[in-house]
Structure 1
Amino acid sequence: MITHKQRRTEKGFCFKHYYKWILCFSLTLYFLVSFFVDHDQEEDHPLSSSSSSRSNPLLTNPKPKLLASHAVFESKIHDSTLEFSPRRLNIKTDVFNNLKIYVYDLPSKFNADWLANERCSNHLFAAEVALHKALLSIEGDVRTKNPYEADFFFVPVYVSCNFSTINGFPAIGHARSLIKEAIGLVSAQYPFWNRTSGSDHVFIATHDFGSCFHTMEDRAIADGVPEILRNSIVLQTFGVTFKHPCQEVENVVIPPYISPESLHKTQKNIPVAKTKERDIWVFFRGKMEIRPKNISGRFYSKRIRTEIWRSYGGDRRFYLQRQRFTGYQSEIARSVFCLCPLGWAPWSPRLVESVVLGCVPVIIADGIRLPFPSAVRWSEISLTVAERDVEKLGEILEHVAATNLSVIQRNLENPSVRQALMYNVPPRDGDATWQIMEALSKKLNRSIRRSNAFI
C-alpha cells in the first residue's frame, strides 16, 4: 500500500522529469530558430569572397527597405580592409546645416574588387577610395542609412584606381561604361535618381581632367563630361579659373591623395622642424624631359619642366632630380621652396606634400583653381609664378627670401591648413572629408528633402 509520503515523493519526481523535458524542448527550439535566423542573415549579407559579387538586398528589391543597411561592400571593408569601428563625429547640427548623405552599397565590381591591387588605395588618385572609406566610417551624424532622409547620394564607383599599368599611365578607359552601369543599376532599383535626374547624386573623379575621364586634354575636351553626369555633382582634383569643358558640371575641387601614414613616418624620421634649418633652398624631383616629345599636339608640362632643367640644372641653389626616389618626402621636409609645376594637368600631389611638410609651394600652372580656398588661404602660404616667367624663377625666389619668406613660413605652420588637405579614416575635424561635407552643405538647394520641407 502506497503511503502519503511515497505519493509526494513520486509526484515530485514526475514534476522534475516534466520540467527537464520542457527545458530540453525549449533549448532545442531556441537553437533551431537561431540557426534559421542566422542562415537567412548570411544569405542577405554574404561576406565570403565567393559571394561578394552578389548584388546587395537594396539593389535587388524594387522597394528598398528603410532598415539600417550593412551590405556587401560595407561589411567587407569593415571586416577585412579597414581596421576601425564606425564612430560618431563630434559635429554640431548647425555645422553642416544638418546635412545627410546616403552611401550606395554597390556590388564590389564597382569598387572593392579594384582594391586587390594594393597600390590602388595609396597612389595620388586614391582620394576616391579614401573618401569612400571615410564616409563609411562615420556612425550617424552626416551619414544616414535611411535613403529617404538623405540630401545627397554618394555613388562609390572607382574610376581612377587602375593607375599602376605597365607604362605608368592611369588606365581609365573603363570609367564611362562603369559609371553608366552603376547609374543604370541605382536608377532601376531606387526611386532617387529618377526624381531629380541625378542632381542630388555625388561622384568622384580624381585623375588629370576629372569628369571628362581622359588623361590627355585634347581627348578630354573632345569627349567632354558624359551627358548622363551633367546634372550631378562631381568631386574632382581638376580645376581651372577659366572656362573649360571638363568643368561643365557642378563640381568641387578636392586635393589629391597623400597617405597620412607616409607623411607621419617622414615627419617622425626627419628631425628638421625649424624652417631656418632647412638645407635645400629649391627642390624638385620628377619628370623633366631634356627633349620633350610631341604627343597629340602637346608637350608634357608645356615644356615648363624642360625649361626648369635647362635653366637651373647647374645652379647650386636648385636641387633638381629626374630619377624616382621613394624617400623623396624627406627631401621636401628639408627644403625651403618646393616647385609644383604642371604636368599634363595643372594640379600635382606636391601641393599637398609641400604644405604638410612645411615647404613653400611654388605653383607654376597658369589658371589653376586650388582646393578649399575658404580653409586654405593659398595666397598666404604659397607662391604663384606665371609659366612665361619660369626663366626668372631664381630672381623671384631670391626676392621673396629677402622680403616676406618668414611670414609665409609662419602661415604654413598652422595645423588647420595642413589638416584640410589630408584624408583620414575615420575623418577628423577640419580635414579633407570635413571640407567636402562643408562644400556639399552649401549646395543644399539641390536636396529634394529640403524643397519638400516647405511644401
Structure 2
Amino acid sequence: MDRFQSRYNFISIFLGSMAILCVISWCSTSFFDYSLLRFRFSPPVGDLKKSFYADYENTNVDSLGLSDQSSNISKKQRKLTKEEELERGLAKARASILRAASDRNTTEYESHLPNAEVYHNPAAFYRSYVEMEKRFRVYVYEEGVLPLVHDGPCKDVYAVEGRFIHEIERGKTRFRTRDPLKAHVYFMPFSVTFLVKYLYQGHGDAKPLKRFVSDYVTTISSKYPFWNRSSGADHFMLACHDWGPLVSKSNPHLFNTSIRVLCNANSSEGFNPKKDASLPEIKLYGSEINPKLTLSKTGDYSQRPYLAFFAGGLHGPIRPILLEHWKHRDPDMPVHEYLPKNLNFYDFMLQSKFCLCPSGYEVASPRVIESIYAECVPVILSKNFVLPLSDVLRWETFSVQVDVSEIPRLKEILMSVSEEKYRWLRRNLQYVRRHFVLNQPPERFDAFHTTLHSIWLRRINFALA
C-alpha cells in the first residue's frame, strides 16, 4: 500500500509539474508566431500584461490566444476607454492574421504578392499589411527644434533616416495622427546623424548625444502619460547612423524596452529582434539612387563576365580576411581595397553575378541594398547581422550567406551554385527590390511602408496593461 501511495504521489507531482511548465510556457510566448517559420516574438517585460485577452470581460480565450466573443454574457458590459478600444482593435488584427496564416487559399494575396516563395508566409504578411493600413496610427512628438529634431539627412548612406522623418511628419501619409489618444505608437523624431553632426566634439565622446536623448525622453515622459504607462514599449526611435545603438543607451527603457529601428542591427550589441527592427541602409545621391542602378540599366544574365566583386576600405574584422585571401588573386573575382580612379564601382556591380557584402566597422552596409538594385546576388559575409525585413522575407531565396570561416573557399562555394539556382536567385532579387526602394511619394510595399510594417508588427505583439 505504501509503495502504491508513493508511486501515486510521484505521478501526481510529475503531472502537476508538467501542467505548471505548460502554463509558464504559454504565458511567456507571444500572441502569435508571425512567420510560422522564424522566431516567436515575446512581449517586452515591464509594466505590460503577458496575457492581454484574459483582461477583457465576456471574452473566451482559445488555445491560440484568439479572443472570441461569447454568447453567454454573464457580466454587464461597460464602455471601453480609448486605450481599450485600441487594444481591442489590435486583438482583432492578431486574430485576422492568425486565420490568414493557416489559410491555404492564395486568392487574397497572389495579385499583390505574386512571388510567394520569397516570404515566410505570404498570406500572413499580406493580411498583416492590410490590417496595418486599416488601423495603424503613429503620433509624432512635436517637442524639439531643428535641426536636431524633425529633420535628418536625405542623401548619402544615412538617407533613410531623414526620409522617414520627413515622410511621417510632412508627407501625405494616412498613418500619422495628431491625437495621441488614437495612436498605437509614439515616434521620437530626433536624428542621430544630425546629433553627431552638430553635437559631437571628437575624441569618441558620445556624452553630449546621449545627454540630449536622455533629456528628450525626460521631457516627453514628464509632459505626457504615454511613456510612463508602458515604460516606453510603445515608443520608437529610428536611426541609420552607426551610433544609433550607443545613443539609445542614454535611457535604460529606451534601450531595453522601446522599439529601436536601426541600420546597425547587431545582435551581439543588444539588438533584440523580438522588439527591435532592422532598417535597410539605402544610399541616395541627391534624392535618388545612382542612375546606373535604375531598372532599365541592370542588364541581363549574359552580360556579367565576373563571378564576384568587392571594393572597399580595410576596416572591421571581416574585410581584412577577405582581402588577405582574394585581393588581386583571381581575374574572375575582382577584389580591391580601393578601385583605381579610372574604374567605376557600379559598372563592376552590374558586370558581376555575385556582390560580396562584408561588414565593416559595423554590421550594416549600403552595399547590400545596392546589390539588390544592381541585381547582383548579395553574398552576406557578416556575424550577428539581423538582416532587414527578415521577419517577413526569406533572404536565402535572393542572397547567399557564407560563414566568415569559409572565406578561403569563397570561389568554390559560389561556383557550386548551379545556373538554374542562380537564375532563381536573380529572379527573386528582381522581385524583392520593390521592398527596398524609397519612392517619393511612397508606394505600397516600398521601403517606407515595410519599415512601418516592421514597427506595426512589434506593436501588435504586446498589449498595454
Range of TM-score over shorter length: 0.5 to 0.7
The answer to whether residue 435 in structure 2 is matched with residue 420 in structure 1 is yes
**Which stretch of the first structure deviates more once superposed, 422-431 or 391-400?**
422-431
SS at match of 2:353: strand
CA 1:247–1:170 in structure 2 vs 1: closer, same or farther (change >3 Å)?
farther
Instruction: Select 1:363's aligned residue among 370, 377, 380.
Output: 380
Which residue of 2 is the match for residue 435 of structure 1? 450
Cα deviation, residue 308, structure 1: 2.3
Structure 2 matches for 1:153-232, cutoff 5 A? 153-161=186-194, 173-208=207-242, 210-213=244-247, 226-229=251-254, 230-232=256-258
Deviations 1:289-336 (A, max 9, x none): xxxxxxxxxxx432x322322322231112223226695234322321
- Does the CA-based 8 Å contact 2:235-2:259 persist in structure 1? yes
Q: Which amino acid aligns with 2:359?
A: L
Cα deviation, residue 381, structure 1: 0.6
Determine the C-alpha separation between the residues in 1 that align with 2:191 and 2:274: 19
Deviations 1:366-396 (A, max 9, x none): 3421111254321011111110110111111
Instruction: Select 1:99's aligned residue among 136, 147, 158.
Output: 136
Structure 2 matches for 1:251-262, cutoff 5 A? 251-259=276-284, 261-262=287-288
The answer to whether residue 320 in structure 2 is matched with residue 306 in structure 1 is yes
- Does the CA-based 8 Å contact 2:295-2:373 persist in structure 1? no
Instruction: Select 2:179's aligned residue among 135, 146, 149.
Output: 146
CA 1:92–1:263 in structure 2 vs 1: closer, same or farther (change >3 Å)?
closer
Cα deviation, residue 356, structure 1: 1.6
Which residue of 2 is the match for residue 297 of structure 1? none
Deviations 1:253-288 (A, max 9, x none): 111122274426223598452122123331111113
SS at match of 2:289: helix
Cα deviation, residue 178, structure 1: 1.7
Which residue of 2 is the match for residue 247 of structure 1? 272
CA 1:270–1:330 in structure 2 vs 1: closer, same or farther (change >3 Å)?
farther
The answer to whether residue 349 in structure 2 is matched with residue 315 in structure 1 is no
- Does the CA-based 8 Å contact 1:211-1:225 persist in structure 2? no
- Does the CA-based 8 Å contact 2:282-2:370 persist in structure 1? no
- Does the CA-based 8 Å contact 1:212-1:246 persist in structure 2? no
SS at match of 1:441: helix
Determine the C-alpha separation between the residues in 1 that align with 2:347 and 2:203: 25
Determine the C-alpha separation between the residues in 2 that align with 1:445 and 1:412: 29
Backbone CA RMSD of aligned residues: 3.4
Identity over aligned pairs, percent: 24
CA 1:167–1:307 in structure 2 vs 1: closer, same or farther (change >3 Å)?
farther
SS at match of 2:212: helix
Structure 2 matches for 1:297-446, cutoff 5 A? 300-302=315-317, 304-312=318-326, 313-323=328-338, 328-402=345-419, 404-414=421-431, 417-442=432-457, 443-444=459-460, 446=462
Q: Which amino acid aligns with 1:212?
A: L
The answer to whether residue 165 in structure 2 is matched with residue 132 in structure 1 is yes
CA 1:164–1:391 in structure 2 vs 1: closer, same or farther (change >3 Å)?
farther
CA 1:330–1:225 in structure 2 vs 1: closer, same or farther (change >3 Å)?
farther
CA 1:444–1:265 in structure 2 vs 1: closer, same or farther (change >3 Å)?
same
- Does the CA-based 8 Å contact 1:96-1:437 persist in structure 2? no
Which residue of 2 is the match for residue 52 of structure 1? none
Q: Which amino acid aligns with 2:369?
A: V
The gaps in structure 2 that reach 5 residues or longer are 1-127
Deviations 1:88-144 (A, max 9, x none): xxx9963445011011223324635976xxxx4323233221111121244352211
Determine the C-alpha separation between the residues in 1 that align with 2:196 and 2:307: 32
Which residue of 1 is the match for residue 118 of structure 2? none
Determine the C-alpha separation between the residues in 1 that align with 2:228 and 2:149: 26
SS at match of 1:351: helix
Determine the C-alpha separation between the residues in 1 that align with 2:436 and 2:205: 25
Determine the C-alpha separation between the residues in 2 that align with 1:249 and 1:169: 34
Q: Which amino acid aligns with 2:280?
A: P
Structure 2 matches for 1:65-104, cutoff 5 A? 94-96=131-133, 98-104=135-141
SS at match of 2:410: helix
Deviations 1:161-211 (A, max 9, x none): 366799999985533112112112222332322332322111113233642
TM-score calculated relative to the size of structure 2? 0.63
TM-score calculated relative to the size of structure 1? 0.64
SS at match of 2:308: strand
- Does the CA-based 8 Å contact 2:309-2:335 persist in structure 1? yes
Determine the C-alpha separation between the residues in 2 that align with 1:113 and 1:187: 18
- Does the CA-based 8 Å contact 2:150-2:189 persist in structure 1? no
Q: Which amino acid aligns with 1:422?
A: V
| Larger RCO of the pair (alpha carbons < 8 Å, separation 6+) | 2
Structure 2 matches for 1:2-81, cutoff 5 A? none
Cα deviation, residue 156, structure 1: 0.5
**Which stretch of the first structure deviates more once superposed, 351-360 or 105-114?**
105-114
Number of aligned positions between the proteins: 331
The gaps in structure 1 that reach 5 residues or longer are 1-90, 215-223, 289-299
Which residue of 2 is the match for residue 284 of structure 1? 310
Which residue of 2 is the match for residue 78 of structure 1? none
